[in-house]
Amino acid sequence: MALLAAIGLTLSACGGGGDDDSDSGSSSTDAVITARTTEPQNPLVPQATNEVGGGNVIDLLYAGLITYKDDGSQELEVADSITSDDNQLWTVKLKDWTFSDGTPVTAKSFVDAWNYGALSTNAQNASYFYYPIKGYEAVQEENPTVKTMEGLKVVDDKTFTIELNQPESDFPLRLGYSAYYPLPESAFADIKAYGEAPVGNGPYKLDAWEHNKELRLVPNEEYDGARKAQNGGVTFVVYTDTDAAYTDVQAGNLDVLDTVPDSALQTFQDDDSVQAITAPGSVLGAFQFPSDLPGFTGEAGKLRRQALSMALNREELTEKLFFGTRTPASDFSAPPMPGWTDEIPGNEVLEFNADEAKKRWAEAEAIEPWGNKKLLIATNTDGAGNKASVDAMSNQIKNALGIDAEPKYYATFDEFLDDRDNNKTGALFRAGWQPDYPSISNYLGPIYGTGAASNDGNYSNPEFDAALAKAAGATSDEDRYQDFVDAQAILMEDMPGLPMWYTDGTGAAATGVENVKFNWQGVPIYQNITK
Amino acid sequence: MWWYAARRILQTIPVILGSTLLIYALVFLRPGDPIRAIFGDKPVSDSVIEQVRAQYNFDEPFLMQWLLFLKGAITLDFGQSFTGRDVSDLVADAFPVTIKLALMALVIEAVLGIVAGTIAGLRKGKLFDSTMLVTSLLVIAVPIFVFGFVMQLIFGVKLGWFPPTVGGNTSFYNLLLPAIVLALVSFAYIVRLTRTSVAANLTADHVRTARAKGLSEGVVVRRHVLRNSLIPTVTFLGADLGALMAGAIVTEGIFNIPGIGNLAFNAIKRGETPTIVSVVTIMVLVYVLTSLIVDLLYAWLDPRIRYA
């Protein structure tokens, strides 16, 4: 009866704090590291934050039930155990842990924070992340009659339960995401004031936030988790322009830059005045087909989607346009994910093969002629590299298949999102994906699951849904990973979207700065950096 | 004189009403939904979007949005940015920085420009004059961001004389390099303007009379040539303060200065109507007030205007 869903969490439960090797080095552990950020767009409340500028800071100020190691695998942080008999009703037990002001982190700290984040009238940016929890729909209504989610129950000070809408074997994996961080009771008295001067339970605490200038973080002595600060603090300097930040790194004025500006992309790896940092990335660049796009429906549509995929030379695009800082995609997720493999049956369809592309297009022609239709490829142009890549893709398709392909530009991202959400693009459209937690399911379900929130192409295949459901009910990692392979094999056949490339994490550090590494999200591991 | 000043100040009211209405219309006509951009790629429920949209009055027709803005503005409530901070706080943080930068640039270009222009005018056709002519042409022809990047690279990164960017520390020394960059283009115009008008005034009747009275050359130049010659220069400087604040968008980006230019740039990128309108309103006010000051300065420089 007491079948524990092991998920490897309990194994590493007491692993934290073991490696203090940077203490013995010559570099000072009390040096303050400066790092580039953008002005956080929201108060520093985890539930309000879903962008990088605030996200990087939030992750250092708070600790969740679990935390992710550099490689994307997870270990327990505030949780002592997370267990379930059926993958649907989860029981969480907490360690003794305190916020930086000394108040204890209790079951209520988590349950209250999640309920606050999910309630529609609080309009929190991260509200969507609670959707697996039972009762989420009720608190998301426009005028909700209940204020708390039915699925969350406090058992005692150190125990609470989470009931889900359906079994999800990898549910605990998402609990390290910022939406699932706890809040102290004091936060709710005046959440606006709290967001200016948050009290967290993470490796750092906020010393000062000078808006549009800098955020100064100092180590939190109350913190005793696996991510202990190895430096004297991190000061995030606000930049609106990454070129300026890069210049500062070159001049030794800034220690860490988490992204390389376009202007330096070609040169930064040979630039002597900086340390170049690259890491395999978890961001997938992809394009999706609206399911009702003329010419792309039925059997002929399937052949055409495959033909387009094989007409694109991903190798050439990543090399010529992005100077090797992106890697051609070989699946629908990304390499840093646990369980990732490049051996998905049918993934040769992602390789450039002009002859095969022509052949499949011709087969489709026999079923349903293309006529003189025009293939549009839609993108917003306010993001880096978007325009150039869509231009190049149109040309490759034109050359390989001899059809009329053309970019369709949107000036701003929100304009593009509007049309995408309302199925009005009438085009193959760009749909990059950055995972919220390190699991392949986070790439597949939200984008290609029937009726899923980000399934803007309206793809639907019962077989694929069944494979994902099977993965959600899997009791071992091996089974689950195999289910993901099966699910992806279906996508390779259907090609509802074209995976293009994995965006590598690129960054730069000043010379003399040590231990700069990126985690699975492409974010520098700030607490380990020394100089 | 006072009546004249008061009338000019009253004129600002329709200017501000018109310009804010225009901006509201422009932002309203912008395609897409800025609220969507707040949430990015991640899905969000309609009820949450409605909530936020109502918070910024985006669910109202634009005329109503504008009236609501005016209603708040009268009580000095300029609304909130998408970051949830009061726009008045944002402006109060950013405005002094840009004013400091713009005034530094103005002083640099005025002092250096008038001195160089006067010398060039007095020695028309000589080596100094020709050198200034070529230099100013060059400066006018090259875009300001090129100067910005080059000077940042040479004096900030390579030589290390100045910090390459400003960031949170907006001291006089930190702002000096960007102020010089900002001053460069107008400096060239001031040299040309001053030079031409000094050269023209040197041959004017009243100067000849002054010389004939036996006044020393120094007194002639200071009292009789410069005073008249500075009228076009002052006109230009007045209009230039407004241009400097707008031009700061480029300079503030290159040198990472947390000023009004940066604020406006980000607000426009995000479609944050309250912030854009507030910033532009302030820019309009600066323009109107500086042109008022210029007109008053005229009267002081040229008695003919004073007694007219």
A140 contacts B45? CB cut-off 8 A: yes
How much is the mean pLDDT over chain A? 89
DSSP-assigned beta bridge partners for residue A326: A503
Interface of A with B in 101-120 (CB under 8 A): 120
Least CB–CB distance from A128: residue in B43, B94, B258:
B43
Which residues of B are less than 8 Å from A453 in CB distance?
43
A412 contacts B37? CB cut-off 8 A: yes
Q: What angle do CA B275, B280, B283 make, to 5 degrees?
A: 135
Q: Is residue A13 over pLDDT 60?
A: no
Smallest Cα distance from B32 to chain A, Å: 3
Smallest Cα distance from A263 to chain B, Å: 12
Confidence of residue A106 (pLDDT cuts 50, 70, 90): very high
pLDDT digits (tens, 9 = 90+) for A425-451: 999 999 888 888 889 999 999 899 998
Q: How far is CA A284 from CA A206, A419, A464, A500, in A?
A: 33, 21, 20, 7
Cβ(A181)–Cβ(A58) below 8 Å: yes
Smallest Cα distance from B82 to chain A, Å: 7
Least CB–CB distance from B265: residue in A41, A240, A414:
A240
Least CB–CB distance from A418: residue in B32, B39, B153:
B32
Interface of A with B in 377-396 (CB under 8 A): 382
Smallest Cα distance from A325 to chain B, Å: 22
Q: What angle do CA A425, A426, A428 make, to 5 degrees?
A: 85
What pLDDT does residue A349 have? Answer: 95
Which residues of A are less than 8 Å from B44 in CB distance?
125, 127-128
Q: Is residue B302 over pLDDT 80?
A: no
What pLDDT does residue A15 have? Answer: 34
What pLDDT does residue A2 have? Answer: 37
Which residues of A are less than 8 Å from B37 in CB distance?
412-414, 417
What pLDDT does residue A19 have? Answer: 39
User: Identity (one letter) of the amino acid at A322?
Assistant: F
Report yes or no: A271 at the B interface, CB cutoff 8 Å: no
pLDDT digits (tens, 9 = 90+) for A196-234: 999 999 999 999 999 888 999 999 999 989 899 999 999
Which residues of A are less than 8 Å from B152 in CB distance?
247
Report yes or no: A416 at the B interface, CB cutoff 8 Å: yes
Least CB–CB distance from A240: residue in B32, B41, B266:
B266
What pLDDT does residue B1 have? Answer: 64
B36 contacts A421? CB cut-off 8 A: yes
Q: Tell me how crowded residue A151 is: count the other CB atoms within 10 A of its CB.
A: 20
Least CB–CB distance from B164: residue in A212, A253, A414:
A253
DSSP-assigned beta bridge partners for residue A497: A288
Altogether, the residues listed in chain A come to a count of 531
Q: How far is CA B261 from CA A384, B98, B156, B247, in A?
A: 22, 8, 21, 8
Distance CA A422, CA A428 (A): 14
Interface of A with B in 459-518 (CB under 8 A): none
Smallest Cα distance from B282 to chain A, Å: 19
What pLDDT does residue B77 have? Answer: 84
B32 contacts A412? CB cut-off 8 A: yes
Report yes or no: A149 at the B interface, CB cutoff 8 Å: no
Report yes or no: A128 at the B interface, CB cutoff 8 Å: yes
Region of A74 please: left (phi>0), alpha (psi -120 to 50) or beta: beta
Report yes or no: A341 at the B interface, CB cutoff 8 Å: no
A414 contacts B32? CB cut-off 8 A: yes
Question: Quick one: how far is CA B48 from the chain centroid?
Answer: 40
Question: Which of A382 and A27 is assigned the larger pLDDT?
Answer: A382
Residues in contact with B113: Cβ distance below 8 Å, sequence separation at least 6, in sequence order = B186, B187, B188, B189, B190, B191, B194, B233
B262 contacts A248? CB cut-off 8 A: no
Cβ(A31)–Cβ(A486) below 8 Å: no
Phi, psi of A119 (to 5 degrees): -65, 125
Least CB–CB distance from A213: residue in B33, B51, B168:
B168
Report yes or no: A412 at the B interface, CB cutoff 8 Å: yes
Q: Is residue A22 over pLDDT 50?
A: no
pLDDT digits (tens, 9 = 90+) for B191-202: 999 999 888 888
Closest of A500, A446, A495 to residue A297, by C-alpha: A495
Interface of A with B in 278-337 (CB under 8 A): none
Which residues of A are less than 8 Å from B161 in CB distance?
none
Share of chain B above pLDDT 90, in %: 16
Q: What angle do CA A433, A435, A436 make, to 5 degrees?
A: 135
Question: Which of A405 and B298 is assigned the larger pLDDT?
Answer: A405
Residues in contact with A338: Cβ distance below 8 Å, sequence separation at least 6, in sequence order = A71, A72, A73, A438, A439, A440, A477, A481
What ipTM describes this predicted complex?
0.80
Q: Tell me how crowded residue A203 is: count the other CB atoms within 10 A of its CB.
A: 25
Closest of A482, A210, A450 to residue A339, by C-alpha: A482
Q: Is residue A274 over pLDDT 60?
A: yes
Closest of A140, A47, A175 to residue B47, by C-alpha: A140
Query: What separation, in Å, do the N-terminal and C-terminal C-alpha atoms of chain A show?
Result: 52
Closest of A427, A440, A436 to residue A331, by C-alpha: A440
Q: What angle do CA B292, B297, B301 make, to 5 degrees?
A: 155
- Nearest chain B residue to A123 by CA distance is B48
B93 contacts A128? CB cut-off 8 A: no
Q: Tell me how crowded residue A363 is: count the other CB atoms within 10 A of its CB.
A: 15
Which residues of B are less than 8 Å from A39 in CB distance?
83, 266
Smallest Cα distance from A348 to chain B, Å: 29
Whether pTM > 0.95 for this model: the answer is no
Which residues of A are less than 8 Å from B38 in CB distance?
41, 125
Which residues of B are less than 8 Å from A51 in CB distance?
40
Helices (H), A312-385: 314-322, 354-367
According to DSSP, the β-strands at A32-37 and A233-238 are parallel
Closest of A389, A29, A21, A44 to residue A193, by C-alpha: A44
Indicate if the alpha-carbon torsion angle A316, A321, A322, A324 is positive or negative.
positive
Smallest Cα distance from B78 to chain A, Å: 18
Smallest Cα distance from B27 to chain A, Å: 13
Mind spelling out the 3-state secondary structure of B228-251? HHHHHHHHHHHHHHHHHHHHHHHH
Cβ(A376)–Cβ(A294) below 8 Å: no
Which residues of B are less than 8 Å from A214 in CB distance?
167-168
**A13-34 average pLDDT score:** 54
Indicate if the alpha-carbon torsion angle B212, B218, B221, B226 is positive or negative.
negative
The structure tokens 């605490």 sit at A205
What pLDDT does residue A83 have? Answer: 94
A124 contacts B48? CB cut-off 8 A: yes
Burial class (CB in 10 A: 0-12, 13-18, 19+), A369: exposed
What pLDDT does residue A28 have? Answer: 62
**A2-8 average pLDDT score:** 36
B44 contacts A127? CB cut-off 8 A: yes
B90 contacts A415? CB cut-off 8 A: no
